[in-house]
Amino acid sequence: MPKITVLPHPDICPDGAIIESASGESICRILLNHHIEIEHACELSCACTTCHVIIREGYASLEEASDAEEDLLDRAWGLSTTSRLACQAKLAAIDLVVEIPRYTINHAKESH
């Protein structure tokens, strides 16, 4: 089974994590199922950038991003050439190393 290595994030996953999961599930759903509370303001519907992640290893194993995902990623904080929305990127058969950016742009959260 492929693994996702989550690099340490000071608020969401301070010690990092290594998660084994079946292929075909979104990175966001896998993280949430393993109690890594990545933001997901649009409930995994590809309508925001709060679940933005940077794929540090294994990027080429992911299916290409849709036009809708690419358009949203243009608005993400800390965009990288290997950025993806975790709700849209599905784990393939290759291990991934994932970095959760330090900040997200969450208009719903910021407006309170």
Give the per-residue pLDDT at 106: 61
The CA distance from 45 to 53, in Å, is 16
Give the per-residue pLDDT at 6: 98
What value does the mean pLDDT take over residues 42-54?
93
CATH number at 94 reads: 3.10.20.30
Indicate if the alpha-carbon torsion angle 7, 10, 11, 16 is positive or negative: positive
pLDDT value at 18 more than 90: yes
Q: Which domain holds residue 8?
A: 3-110
pLDDT value at 99 more than 70: yes
Count of domains for the chain: 1
Confidence of residue 110 (pLDDT cuts 50, 70, 90): very low
Q: Which residue has the tokens 């075909």?
A: 24
Confidence of residue 102 (pLDDT cuts 50, 70, 90): confident
pLDDT, tens digit, for every residue of 51-87?
Answer: 999 999 999 999 999 999 999 999 998 999 999 999 9
Q: Which residue has the tokens 């949203």?
A: 72
29's enclosing H/E stretch is: helix 27-33
